[in-house]
Amino acid sequence: MILIASGWIMVLLAGGGLALDSVLSSAITRNFDDQLDYLLTSMIVSAEIGPEGEVAFNRELADQRFFEPYSGLYWQVSGRGYDAFPSRSLWDRRLRVRPSEPDGEARTYDSREFPEERLRIAERDVRLPNSNIWWRFQIAQSREMLDAQIAALRQTLVRSFLLLGVGLIVMAALQTWYGLLPLKKLQRELARMRGGNAPRIDGPMPAEVAPMVEELNGLIAHNERQAEEARRHAGNLAHALKTPLTVIMNAATAESDDLPATVVREARTMRRQVDHHLARARAVGRRGSAHSRAEVWPSIEAVERAVARLYRHVRIDIDGQKDLVAHIERQDLDDLLGNLVENAAKYGGGSVFITVRAESGFVEILVEDDGAGIPEADRIRIFDRGVRLDSGKPGTGLGLAIVRDVAEIYEGTVSLEESEDLGGLLVRLRLPMAG
């Protein structure tokens, strides 16, 4: 940043310096030319034709340098058919008369006709009264003074712009250093976190980095949630596999006659648990995907057909909006609904009612049954892994726990209530609606 700023400062100052040098040099040169033009006008005004047709002056030009040889200020009058009439300062030299058509206009130009002296010449062709000849009046002055003024100006400009450039570069460096100080502070806070001295980036932060700090803290919280989910998932899987393994070990230790059948049965249970937990792990990996979309009604119909084949005595009714789309993968939605509807069919009294509706940006799915329900005191505890209120029916106690976990993965919720219509349990599943 400092190098780029320095480069641009030097480029802009160089461009500005060249432009300013051109303007000021032109102004000094114009002022110099105005003085020459003033002397040229004074000389023409005081000129007249003498008795023999030559040019004479009715008064001497006031500048003393015209009378000092090689003083650097000269004048000369030339006319066709007459010798040049020079100032004494020219001594034995003469100004060159460039051929041109007389037009009465003043001209100013540089000349190197004197090897040891550069000249700035102002000239004009004039026809004096009582004369038919075009006389060329010339005023010449050494450029030494003009060049010295321009050189002094350029020296001042170079020094000033160099000082300005150094000052601007120093200010840019200080501004960059000061502007990056918040990142130094952030670096120290991150080092404290990595060293285990702080769980998050706390304390006031400069406004420049505050949004980034908020995002970092959000990322840390997200990672902590993922770690907690991974630990809970590992615990769920371990608990699910512990019971079948214990059954197998007991049967093997007792040398039970039905050991092969027991191994096959419990192995199927473990495989089911592993498949279920792998599906949940995939759901964690797919969380937040903008492409996660599932049509709710077809999923409910598919689950209803599957559960109806398992529990032929159960009547399952569906009602609600058929066009709702939830922000969830179809496979995960099928797993959630399969758990809820199968539980309602298993523990209910023979009737299951499913309602689908939109509610405040969420797709709300209500699963009701006509069973005994769950006491209000147990409705929170039932979501813990391994908890079963009815141990007389087969199961692992992981169904509702996994429903809650997968729903939370997609930023949804699941809650248990009492069904007003059927009198049993009402499970309210809320999932974000897909845009």
Q: What pLDDT is stored for residue 287 in this prediction?
A: 56
The answer to whether 2-149 and 291-435 have equal CATH topology is no
Q: What is the pLDDT of residues 407-435, one digit of tens each?
A: 888 889 998 988 888 888 899 999 999 87
135 within 8 A of 119, measured Cβ to Cβ: no
Within 13 Å of residue 402, how many CA atoms lie on the same side as its CB?
Answer: 33
Lowest mean pLDDT among 156-170, 251-265, 297-311: 251-265
Secondary structure in 3-state letters for 7-56 = HHHHHHHHHHHHHHHHHHHHHHHHHHHHHHHHHHHHHHHCEEECCCCCEE
Mean pLDDT, residues 274-283 taken together: 68
Q: What pLDDT is stored for residue 101 in this prediction?
A: 84
- The angle that helices 399-409 and 330-347 make with each other, rounded to 10 degrees, is 150
Q: What pLDDT is stored for residue 63 in this prediction?
A: 84
Mean pLDDT, residues 336-347 taken together: 90
CA distances from residue 388 to 241, 343, 377, 384, 395 in whole angstroms, order as listed: 16, 12, 14, 9, 8
Q: What pLDDT is stored for residue 395 in this prediction?
A: 45
Q: What pLDDT is stored for residue 118 in this prediction?
A: 93
Q: Please spell the DSSP secondary structure of 176-223, one letter per residue.
A: HHHHHHHHHHHHHHHHHHHTTS-SS--S---TTTHHHHHHHHHHHHHH
Q: DSSP 3-state assignment of 383?
A: helix
Pairing of strands 351-359, 315-320: parallel
Within 13 Å of residue 98, how many CA atoms lie on the same side as its CB?
Answer: 13
φ, ψ of residue 328 in degrees (nearest 5)? -165, 155
How far is residue 335's CA from residue 270's CA, in Å, rounded to a whole number?
17
Strand partners, 353: 317, 368
How far is residue 406's CA from residue 153's CA, in Å, rounded to a whole number?
79
Lowest mean pLDDT among 86-100, 105-119, 147-161, 384-398: 384-398
Mean pLDDT, residues 284-306 taken together: 79
Q: DSSP 3-state assignment of 413?
A: strand
Mention every residue, 6+ apart, whose C-beta is less than 8 A from residue 133: 53, 79, 80, 81, 82, 127
CATH fold label, 2-149:
Beta-Lactamase (3.30.450)
With a cut of 70, say whether residue 286 has pLDDT above it. Answer: no
User: Binning pLDDT at 50, 70 and 90, where does residue 276 land?
Assistant: low
Mean pLDDT, residues 140-166 taken together: 93
With a cut of 70, say whether residue 383 has pLDDT above it. Answer: no
How far is residue 303's CA from residue 319's CA, in Å, rounded to a whole number?
14
Model pTM above 0.75: no
Alpha helices by DSSP H, listed for 254-295, are 259-286
Per the listing, tokens 């040889």 go with: 69
Alpha helices by DSSP H, listed for 91-209, are 144-194
Mean pLDDT, residues 164-185 taken together: 88
Task: Report how far apart the first and last C-alpha atoms of the chain are (Å, whole number).
Answer: 42
Enter the tokens of residue 203.
């304390």
Per the listing, tokens 């119909």 go with: 301
CATH class of 291-435: alpha beta
With a cut of 60, say whether residue 315 has pLDDT above it. Answer: yes
How far is residue 425's CA from residue 344's CA, in Å, rounded to a whole number?
8
Q: What pLDDT is stored for residue 218 in this prediction?
A: 84
Q: What is the pLDDT of residues 59-116, one digit of tens each?
A: 887 788 999 999 999 999 998 888 889 999 999 999 999 888 888 889 999 999 998 8
With a cut of 90, say whether residue 375 has pLDDT above it. Answer: no
With a cut of 50, say whether residue 310 has pLDDT above it. Answer: yes
How far is residue 22's CA from residue 16's CA, in Å, rounded to a whole number?
10
> What are the extents of the domains in the chain?
2-149, 209-286, 291-435
